[in-house]
Amino acid sequence: MIVSIAQPAYLPWLGYFDRINKSDLAIVLDDVQIERRGVTHRNKILGLHGPIWLTVPINKKGNFTSAINAITINQDVKWKNKHKETIRQCYSKAACFNEYFNDIVSFYERDWVFLNDLLREISNYLLQSLTITTPLQYSTEMGVSGTKSDLILNLCKEVGASKYVSGPFGREYLDRKVFDKANIEVLFHDYKYPHYDQSRSEFFPNLSILDLLFRYGHSSLRILSEEQKLGTKW
């Protein structure tokens, strides 16, 4: 069984979904600390003059030392309408905008206390929109211990993985010997961002999946997965 593991993310990028699509099971790592410069609570969409960050405000006191599933959203910041209207302004003329926008808007009309609940609901919707059927399992509900390489290995063992799909940075911290000893093959997902028409001369990579979905709709999964391969080179 091929397993991938990744932290949850807000409006994730294309590679996030390709890795899930290439797995038999995807584990959402939501009981570890948030990455300070990561995209757990923010991501980019494409505006008129270039990429725009959309950030979910979090209560920072203690949150960067708390597990992701314990992080709360800052209720004093009015962010939901700003995100909704920014998305509308950026993509209202995109070919598939009307097919998805009302569903996206519905997430900004709900009250959220915990960041993780928002991330889970939006990601489930996006997976469904992309027709990705890989089952998800949440580390919060698994009770597996460990840090860094040991945690990844223990999660793989818990679900009976024969192959683990890692991002490229896994080369920096995974202990190859213990994975070999456990008979778990490590595959690396060196995602090559596909170029597609963004209706401008300059192409901007590393954006939220919304950029592709609003433009290409049901063709999005084919585009984001084209010519993407898993490798074993450390």
- In the chain, where are the structural domains located? 2-225
- What tokens were used for 101? 């926008």
Round to whole Å and give the CA distance between 182 and 161: 10
Average confidence score pLDDT of the chain: 95
The secondary structure element, H or E, covering residue 220 is helix 220-225
Looking at the chain, the whole-number percentage of residues with pLDDT higher than 70 is 98
Q: In the predicted model, what is the mean pLDDT of residues 118-142?
A: 98
pLDDT-based confidence at residue 61 (cuts at 50, 70, 90): low
Looking at the chain, the whole-number percentage of residues with pLDDT higher than 90 is 91
Tell me, yes or no, if the pTM score tops 0.75. Answer: yes
The pLDDT of residue 152: 98
Residue 62 predicted with pLDDT over 90? no
26 bridge partner residues: 4, 136
The pLDDT of residue 37: 75
Comparing 59-68, 70-79, 108-117, 208-217, which segment has the lowest mean pLDDT?
59-68
The one-character DSSP state at 18 is H
DSSP 112-129: -SBHHHHHHHHHHHHHHH
The pLDDT of residue 64: 56
Residue 76 predicted with pLDDT over 60? yes
Residue 65 predicted with pLDDT over 70? no
Q: In the predicted model, what is the mean pLDDT of residues 196-201?
A: 94
Residue 106 predicted with pLDDT over 80? yes
Helical ranges in 47-191 per DSSP H: 80-91, 97-107, 115-129, 148-159, 170-173, 176-181
The pLDDT of residue 66: 78
The pLDDT of residue 11: 98
pLDDT-based confidence at residue 38 (cuts at 50, 70, 90): confident
**206 vs 38, which has greater pLDDT?**
206
**34 vs 213, which has greater pLDDT?**
213
**137 vs 233, which has greater pLDDT?**
137
The CA radius of gyration of the chain, in Å to the nearest whole number, is 18
The pLDDT of residue 167: 96
Q: In the predicted model, what is the mean pLDDT of residues 82-91?
A: 98
The pLDDT of residue 12: 98
